Amino acid sequence: MSAAPARAERAGLAPAAARALFRDGLVTPTSGFSDGHAQANLIVVPRDWAFDVLLFAQRNPKPCPVLGVLDAGEVEGPLLPGGDVRTDVPLYTVYEHGEAAGTRTDLLDVWRDDLVTFALGCSFTFEAALQEAGIPVAHLEQGVNVPMYRTSVECTPAGRLSGPLVVSMRPVPASRVADAVRITSRYPAVHGAPVHVGAPEELGIRDLAAPDFGDPVGIPAGHVPVFWACGVTPQAAVLASGVPFALGHAPGHMLVTDAPNWQYQVP
């Protein structure tokens, strides 16, 4: 296993160099790697399920903004030139018959030629824009993974797929909520504007301190919990829908792509 580079070094790594570290066995959340480049959620399903997943994404664009799709069996593409989607993510999840079947550091043993890989936008992209605007990002300041919650909001079903909306949460100073809405709206390809501001109970979230994925973060006084759609949503749908076989990234352990963040910005 590779040694983890220091924080400043992570930010400056070219995406291909970051992927090489993960390919060589480094297991770590990818937040902070390769500044200015989009990171992606993964969902990988057999070809027979690919239309359902792509339609689910089309009908639920806030949690499932598709950045790229590899053809069945393909392991490399424009988002990861020269890479290999089976090895270049630090940690993967495996799903069988709608149940989590553990994590893996590579997919070489479980890969099949009929597997179609979807890469979805990740909120790490707009976090950089929030920070540039002086809006604090609590989980980065606290050095933990972003908290994520399954909600009581059902996604729009598509074919055989249905499931709950998963959201990420960031506390935002009340005076900056409007700015956070405006700034993140400019990045529809990486979840865009929040889906919910305040009132977590309306999302069916009982305890902000007990996220379903990631780590809890404290909410400072005068801050409001703001919820964005999360790219773990299709994995929740795979679980809820009993998909026979699927693969994903482990939450927070993303695919570092060559795509520059700026190309996903609208005015």
Query: Residue numbers of the site for a second copy (CB under 8 A)?
Result: 50-51, 54-55, 58-59, 66, 69, 71, 159, 182, 185-186, 188, 192-193, 266-267
E strand or H helix at 95, and its extent? strand 92-96
Closest distance to a second copy from the beta carbon of 181 (Å): 8
Residue 265 C-beta-side C-alpha neighbours within 13 Å = 13
CB of 54 to a second copy, least distance (A): 5
Q: How far is the CB of 47 from a second copy (least distance, A)?
A: 8
Q: What does the alpha-carbon distance between residue 66 and residue 202 come to, in Å, rounded to a whole number?
A: 27
Q: How many CB atoms lie under 10 A from the CB of residue 99? A: 10
Please state the closest distance from residue 68 (CB atom) to a second copy, in A. Answer: 8
Sheet hosting strand 196-197, strand order edge to edge: 148-154, 164-173, 223-229, 196-197
- For residue 125, the minimal CB distance to a second copy (Å) is 15
Q: Which is nearer to a second copy, 180 or 254 (CB)?
A: 180
With respect to a second copy, which residue has the nearer C-beta, 221 or 266? 266
Q: What is the DSSP letter of 188?
A: G
**Which CB sits closer to a second copy, 3 or 266?**
266
Residue 216 Cβ vs a second copy, minimum distance, rounded to whole Å: 31
Give how far the C-alpha of residue 94 lies from the chain's centroid of Cα atoms, to the nearest Å: 16
CB of 159 vs a second copy, minimal distance in Å: 8
Q: Tokens representing 167?
A: 């959201």
Q: Which is nearer to a second copy, 180 or 256 (CB)?
A: 180
Residue 193 has φ and ψ, to the nearest 5°, of: -65, 155
Positive/negative CA dihedral, 78, 249, 22, 126: positive
With respect to a second copy, which residue has the nearer C-beta, 159 or 216?
Answer: 159
Q: For residue 89, give both structure tokens.
A: 């993510």
By beta-carbon proximity to a second copy, the closer residue of 119 and 169 is: 119
**Residue 179 in tokens:** 């700015």
Phi, psi of 234 (to 5 degrees): -65, -30
Residue among 50 and 232 whose Cβ is closer to a second copy: 50
* Side chain identity at residue 223, one-letter code: H
Q: Rounded to the nearest 5 degrees, what angle is found at the Cα of 184, between the Cα atoms of 122 and 39?
A: 20
